[in-house]
A and B are shown apart, each in its own frame.
Chain A
């Protein structure tokens, strides 16, 4: 069975198309393809997940795995069209708080964007306008969605938020330009801008990648505190397993535009059930333990999204591709299946994994071969 347009019941914990959503954010069979001169780039190819309010989902993957494209897709920031270069072809469903965004009117999505869902970008210097003051930009974000708010109210709100995200002397710094802020402060200001309308969904795309370790720790702490305070749903996108381990309740591992494993954070680190997740954990030098052994890297490089390997996208790099009999890894795409050996984590998080190997076999490989070497 190759990939069908409609999601099969086995494609994960998704509800069927058109049915009402089961969670606050419900993404179903999301596909985002970009036509290019070299071929169709399948950045996201059948991704489904749910997220409840008050919880944090970490999306992990290497460059080109489709994690950023997914976040822009949820925000509705791709230029959509059937033809022409640079235009994305998107299909699937995105339910946010009971509303379907893909079929919604663009104006409706624009009203939600910034108010109900907001985004923190990786590079605060290029995400902010260099010509306007920090305060001006926050006020603008506020007044777009609060047309009745006066300038003074909006400015007060901006100062209040800058104070909340830990900018010293916010009433003075509100009139500074982005270049007058340091990297860490700019990231704080951007968080303030994202939070100005109390969004219910916050997407942070590599929020700390451009920052130094000590500043990164401050920002991670801030994001964690703010989530507790505002109770919003947060998606953190990163390549750094350390960052997700700090922030996320649930983790989704992406490879070649699809989800290969998904589950509660603790389980994903203590009992991962996908060879790619093993590879990521094995590739990572650890700071928290003495490590005399060599790292266990994944061989080869990530796939080209134009020519995603047939069958399981990971099969050319997978050391266990020959374990399931009959060359099935090269012909059939594995669907997400529930890891039965695992108990549901706190918050009802279930553990899903997409691999052709029998679960007992994977449990055995992890406990006997992989875990002792990490």
Chain B
């Protein structure tokens, strides 16, 4: 039972984006009458905020709803329930026209640099499209501005008239970044921005995102499955499992002392590039696969794979509580927790 008021962790800088009890269910229909027979509970009650100037990393396995979450906060999807507030304005159910002025402030970088760029448009048209759609003429004209953006992301202004197929994967991702930055957004949501790239190129793009944040004062929500990348880029990290937030805290405490068993297992499963540590490491092997989000397990959704699960986990859903200042966990039997807080969480 989540009580939204209980967990407004608005310490520190103001929140740019607030998400409260966000739900997205995709209906499953059947038959001629398209009768609804069930729903994929992709996102099921998320509450968090994104603070101005920070990078929030969202991590989880496939099917945990992290991409759906990204599409909900950029309002590419309409939430089934809950609220998304951007700079004090409720945007959860705004229509296309209502969202249009806000599109300037919220932009997205996509995973696949091959399918996210129109192959029949030149780079100039692609990066210049936001100006056309918003009816803005930047100082010095669109062409000049686009060339400035290309330079900003490390491409050459001469690439203006080229087509996407003439570029490598890393360069295409830079084009996508230039497009996202064209209108000087406040919030950039990046969904797996580097997972399609080779290691050496991945590092170039990670550094570029870093520099741009410093230079333009951007706020990022970076969604990724790679815990090493998330550790490198994020200030705070949210861990998702089957549509729920299981842990939300700053980078240092998440990696130093994860409280949720799932986070702990996830961290221990990442292969460490150091052969000397292969034998010394304690590894938690989770059984089986992630259950289907169509009929998620009762109570705590992780109880089917958790080695600490008890009866209370099957019956009751653990609320997301701040067991330590700035460290929220949704678990009945948290690890590394202060004694009193753990007892409180177990008692419900």
For chain B, residues 261 to 298, give those with C-beta under 8 angstroms from any C-beta of chain A: 265-278, 283, 285-286, 289-290
What residues of A have a CB within 8 angstroms of the CB of B314 in the complex?
A: none
Contact B168 A216 (CB under 8 A): no
Residue from A221, A285, A290 within 8 A of B229 (CB atoms): A285
Known contacts A243-B271, A288-B277, A294-B207: A218-B285 contact under CB 8 Å: yes
What residues of A have a CB within 8 angstroms of the CB of B231 in the complex?
A: 285-287, 291
Contact B62 A212 (CB under 8 A): yes
Expressed in whole angstroms, the minimum distance between the Cβ of B162 and any Cβ of chain A is: 15
Instruction: Indicate whether B183 reaches chain A with its CB closer than 8 angstroms.
Output: no
Give the distance in Å from the alpha carbon of A214 to the alpha carbon of B305 in the complex. Answer: 11
Give the distance in Å from the alpha carbon of A220 to the alpha carbon of B207 in the complex. Answer: 30
Instruction: Indicate whether A147 reaches chain B with its CB closer than 8 angstroms.
Output: no
What residues of A have a CB within 8 angstroms of the CB of B168 in the complex?
A: 301
Residue from B200, B252, B268 within 8 A of A280 (CB atoms): B200
Instruction: Indicate whether A242 reaches chain B with its CB closer than 8 angstroms.
Output: yes
Q: Which residue of A lies closest to B268 (CB)?
A: A217
Contact A286 B273 (CB under 8 A): yes
Expressed in whole angstroms, the minimum distance between the Cβ of B232 and any Cβ of chain A is: 4
What residues of A have a CB within 8 angstroms of the CB of B277 in the complex?
A: 288
What residues of B have a CB within 8 angstroms of the CB of A35 in the complex?
A: none
What residues of B have a CB within 8 angstroms of the CB of A331 in the complex?
A: none
Expressed in whole angstroms, the minimum distance between the Cβ of B168 and any Cβ of chain A is: 5
Known contacts A287-B231, A287-B255, A287-B267: A297-B201 contact under CB 8 Å: yes
Give the distance in Å from the alpha carbon of A359 to the alpha carbon of B119 in the complex. Answer: 47
Known contacts A282-B203, A295-B206: A182-B289 contact under CB 8 Å: yes
Instruction: Indicate whether A63 reaches chain B with its CB closer than 8 angstroms.
Output: yes
For chain B, residues 222 to 251, give those with C-beta under 8 angstroms from any C-beta of chain A: 225-229, 231-233
Instruction: Indicate whether A281 reaches chain B with its CB closer than 8 angstroms.
Output: yes
Expressed in whole angstroms, the minimum distance between the Cβ of B276 and any Cβ of chain A is: 6
Instruction: Indicate whether B85 reaches chain A with its CB closer than 8 angstroms.
Output: no
Instruction: Indicate whether A246 reaches chain B with its CB closer than 8 angstroms.
Output: yes
Expressed in whole angstroms, the minimum distance between the Cβ of A165 and any Cβ of chain B is: 14
Contact A291 B232 (CB under 8 A): yes
Instruction: Indicate whether B105 reaches chain A with its CB closer than 8 angstroms.
Output: no
Instruction: Indicate whether B202 reaches chain A with its CB closer than 8 angstroms.
Output: yes
Contact A242 B203 (CB under 8 A): no
Contact B271 A212 (CB under 8 A): no
Give the distance in Å from the alpha carbon of A240 to the alpha carbon of B227 in the complex. Answer: 13
Instruction: Indicate whether B199 reaches chain A with its CB closer than 8 angstroms.
Output: yes
What residues of A have a CB within 8 angstroms of the CB of B265 in the complex?
A: 214
What range describes how many residues of B lie at the interface? 35 or more
Q: Which residue of A lies closest to B292 (CB)?
A: A182
Contact B203 A283 (CB under 8 A): yes
Give the distance in Å from the alpha carbon of A221 to the alpha carbon of B279 in the complex. Answer: 12
Residue from B227, B276, B283 within 8 A of A287 (CB atoms): B227
What residues of B have a CB within 8 angstroms of the CB of A216 in the complex?
A: 269, 271
What residues of B have a CB within 8 angstroms of the CB of A284 in the complex?
A: 199, 203, 228, 273
Residue from A218, A239, A248 within 8 A of B198 (CB atoms): A239
A-B contact count (CB 8 A): 131
Contact A297 B204 (CB under 8 A): yes
Instruction: Indicate whether B335 reaches chain A with its CB closer than 8 angstroms.
Output: no
Contact A266 B269 (CB under 8 A): no
Residue from B266, B273, B289 within 8 A of A241 (CB atoms): B273
Instruction: Indicate whether B210 reaches chain A with its CB closer than 8 angstroms.
Output: yes
Give the distance in Å from the alpha carbon of A247 to the alpha carbon of B190 in the complex. Answer: 32
Instruction: Indicate whether A298 reaches chain B with its CB closer than 8 angstroms.
Output: yes
Contact B289 A269 (CB under 8 A): no
Q: Which residue of A lies closest to B227 (CB)?
A: A287
For chain A, residues 178 to 221, give those with C-beta under 8 angstroms from any C-beta of chain B: 182-185, 212-218, 220-221
For chain B, residues 23 to 62, give those with C-beta under 8 angstroms from any C-beta of chain A: 61-62
Q: Which residue of A lies closest to B61 (CB)?
A: A212
Instruction: Indicate whether A54 reaches chain B with its CB closer than 8 angstroms.
Output: no
Q: Which residue of A lies closest to B202 (CB)?
A: A283
Give the distance in Å from the alpha carbon of A246 to the alpha carbon of B273 in the complex. Answer: 7
Contact B283 A269 (CB under 8 A): no
Contact A297 B200 (CB under 8 A): yes
Instruction: Indicate whether B170 reaches chain A with its CB closer than 8 angstroms.
Output: yes
Instruction: Indicate whether A23 reaches chain B with its CB closer than 8 angstroms.
Output: no
What residues of A have a CB within 8 angstroms of the CB of B289 in the complex?
A: 182-185, 215
Known contacts A283-B202, A287-B227: A217-B232 contact under CB 8 Å: no
Instruction: Indicate whether A296 reaches chain B with its CB closer than 8 angstroms.
Output: yes
What residues of B have a CB within 8 angstroms of the CB of A280 in the complex?
A: 199-200
Give the distance in Å from the alpha carbon of A45 to the alpha carbon of B224 in the complex. Answer: 36
What residues of A have a CB within 8 angstroms of the CB of B286 in the complex?
A: 214, 217-218
Known contacts A246-B278, A295-B206: A220-B271 contact under CB 8 Å: yes
> Contact string, A244-285, partner B, CB cutoff 8 A, digits 1/0?
011010000000000000000110011000000001111111
Contact B200 A213 (CB under 8 A): no
What residues of B have a CB within 8 angstroms of the CB of A123 in the complex?
A: none
Expressed in whole angstroms, the minimum distance between the Cβ of A250 and any Cβ of chain B is: 10
Residues of B within 8 A of A (CB): 61-62, 168, 170-171, 198-204, 206-207, 210, 225-229, 231-233, 252, 255, 265-278, 283, 285-286, 289-290
15 A-B pairs within 8 Å (CB atoms) are namely: A213-B227, A213-B266, A215-B289, A217-B286, A218-B286, A265-B275, A270-B276, A280-B199, A281-B273, A285-B231, A286-B273, A291-B231, A295-B203, A297-B202, A301-B168
Residues of A within 8 A of B (CB): 62-63, 182-185, 212-218, 220-221, 239-243, 245-246, 248, 265-266, 269-270, 279-288, 290-291, 294-299, 301-302
Q: Which 7 pairs between the two chains have the least Cβ-Cβ distance?
A: A242-B271, A297-B203, A283-B203, A285-B232, A217-B269, A298-B200, A295-B203
Task: Give 12 new A-B contacts, CB below 8 A, not counting A214-B269, A246-B275, A298-B203.
Answer: A62-B198, A242-B228, A285-B231, A287-B267, A287-B272, A288-B272, A291-B231, A295-B207, A297-B201, A297-B207, A301-B168, A302-B198
